[in-house]
Amino acid sequence: MAQLDPARNSLWRLFLTVHTRLLERVEQDFRQAGLPTFEWYDVLVALKQAPDRRLRLSELAQVLLVNRTNVTRLVDRLETAGLIRREACADDRRGAFAVLTEAGLSMQQKMWTIYARSIARYFGRHLTEADVAVFTQALSAMLETLDER
């Protein structure tokens, strides 16, 4: 097993710290705008991008990289808010779909306005075109390797 050198260890820690702080800033911007949490945004955008704007709860958990129990609780809250609805799965009585409602689509669009501004303000403005190319190449290579397993 290869060991990382001190520079790569430091970069890893910096990467994690920046990721955490960026998400904290986005959450703060959402709160200041009177919007739901980033967690809700993830669900809404995942459903918006899905065929027919719906996913089985198990598929939604995979997309969000969370366990099924957590996605069920999250879906409960979004359903109560009227942003999604559940539909029974015809071929599996225990299965259910999360379906994006028009209110959910509207909320995702409101949230995207704030989120896009936050990305530009806290992330994008610090990157040159060369930085974007290097980060894209490095992160894509890492993801490809991770997806092979």
User: How large is the average pLDDT for residues 74-83?
Assistant: 96
Can you state the angle between helices 102-122 and 6-32, rounded to 10 degrees? 130
Residue 137 token pair: 């190449």
CATH value at residue 39: 1.10.10.10
* Structural domain for 112, as ranges: 16-143
Quick check: is 4 in a domain? Answer: no
pTM of the model: 0.86
Q: How many domains does the chain have?
A: 1
Phi then psi for residue 2, to 5 deg, are -75, 140
b/e sequence 12-47, b meaning 16+ C-beta within 10 Å:
eeeeeeeeeeeeeebbebbeeeebbebebbbbbbbb
Tokens of 90: 């015809």
Instruction: Please report whether residue 137 resides in a domain.
Output: yes
> Looking at the domain assignment, is residue 65 inside a domain?
yes
In this prediction, residue 1 has a pLDDT band, given cuts at 50, 70 and 90, of low
Whether 87 maps to a domain, the answer reads yes
Q: Is residue 5 part of a domain?
A: no
Q: 């998400």: which residue's tokens?
A: 23
Helices 68-80 and 57-64 pack at an angle, to 10 degrees, of: 110
Determine contact, residues 38/76, Cβ cutoff 8 Å: no
Q: pLDDT tens for residues 18-51?
A: 999 999 999 999 999 999 999 999 999 999 999 9
